[in-house]
Amino acid sequence: MEKIILCIKGVPKPGTVKVDPVTHTLKRDSLELILNPPDRQAVEMAVRLKENYGLKVTVITMGPPNVIPLLKEVYGIGADEMVLLSDRAFAGADTLATSYVLAEAIKKMSPYSLVLMGLKSIDGETSQVPPETAALLGLPSITNVKTVLKERNNWVVLRQTEYGEEELEVEPPFVASVLPEAFDYLRPPSLKRLLEVKEKDPLVFTAKDLGLSSEKLGLNGSPTQVVDVFEKKFEAKGQVLEGEPSFLVEKLISVLEQKGLIHR
C-alpha cells in the first residue's frame, strides 16, 4: 500500500521553557510537551489523503521518550504506524542535524509517495526542516501547501504565498510543509483508536539502528552554534496612567492630536 510519512514535533507548552545555561539549548527532559500546533494541519491532511486514496500513514518524530504520548495522539487521529527516533546523541541538534536524522530514517521507510510536515514549529520557528530534509533526500520540496490531490500518478499541489496561489504538479515522492490555515476543521482523536493504541508501542530507532555518522549528530554535529543567550529586560521609561476608560481615552486622544493623527 502506498505510504505517507508524517513528521511531527513535540514542542514545549508555551510558558514552560527553560534554557540550559551551559549548552544554551532547550532543556527538553523536564518540559511539558504538546503537539506542535502547525503540525495538526499536516496530520489532518495526512488523514484526509488516507481516506480519499486508501494510503497508509506512518507518523514519525524525533525526541526523548516523553514524546510517545504525542505519537499516540496522532495514531488516535488516524495514523497507522508510529516511529520514534530517539537517542541521547540527537540532543541539541540544529535544523541540519535534525534533518539528517529524519532523512536517514525516512530513507529506511521506502517506498513512500509523500512526506508531510507542519510549516514550522512554534519553538524554533525556523520552517527550515522540511526543505532541508527534502534536499538531503534528493527530493523536491514545496512549502506553504494548502491542498494536495492525486492526478494519475502525480501529485497536484496548491501552494499559497504572498503573491497568490500556485497550482503545481510534482512527481512523487516529494516533501510538503502544510500551511497553518489549510483546514478550518481539525478532527479530534477517536476514542476507539485511543483505546486501541494503549496496547501499542512505537517502533524505536537509535542512531546505531539507523547507521548514522556520529559526527553529524546533535549539538556537536550542528553547524550553527549558539554563542550567547540573554534575556531582554525592560525598564519603565514612559508615563503610566491609571483610571476610568473615559479618562484614559481622553489622554490617548490628546496624544493622537499632538502627533497629528486626528484633528478636532
* Cα 91 to Cα 219: distance, rounded to the nearest angstrom: 6
Q: Does the footprint of another protein cover residue 8 (CB under 8 A)?
A: no
Which residues within the stretch 29-68 sit at the binding site for another protein (CB under 8 A)?
A: 37
Residue 220 cell numbers, joined: 556537536
CB 253 → another protein: shortest distance, Å?
Answer: 6
Q: Give the one residue of 79, 136, 197, 217 binding another protein; rule: CB under 8 A.
A: 136
CA 68 to chain centre: 16
At closest approach, how far in Å is the CB of 150 from another protein? 15
Q: Judge whether 92 and 219 are in contact, CB under 8 Å.
A: yes
Q: Which of 38, 171, 34, 216 is nearest to 117 (CA)?
A: 38
Between 75 and 99, name the residue whose CB sits nearer to another protein: 99
Site for another protein in 100-129 (CB under 8 A): 120, 122-129
**Region of 53-61, 84-92, 206-214, 224-232 interacting with another protein (CB under 8 A):** 224-232
Binders of another protein in range 154-173 (CB under 8 A): 156, 161-171
- Least separation in angstroms between residue 147's CB and another protein is 13
Q: Is 224 in the site for another protein (CB under 8 A)?
A: yes
Question: If residue 83 lies in a helix (H) or strand (E), which one and from where to where?
Answer: strand 81-85
Whether the Cβ atoms of residue 180 and residue 122 lie closer than 8 Å to each other: no
Alpha-carbon Rg for the chain, nearest whole angstrom, is 22
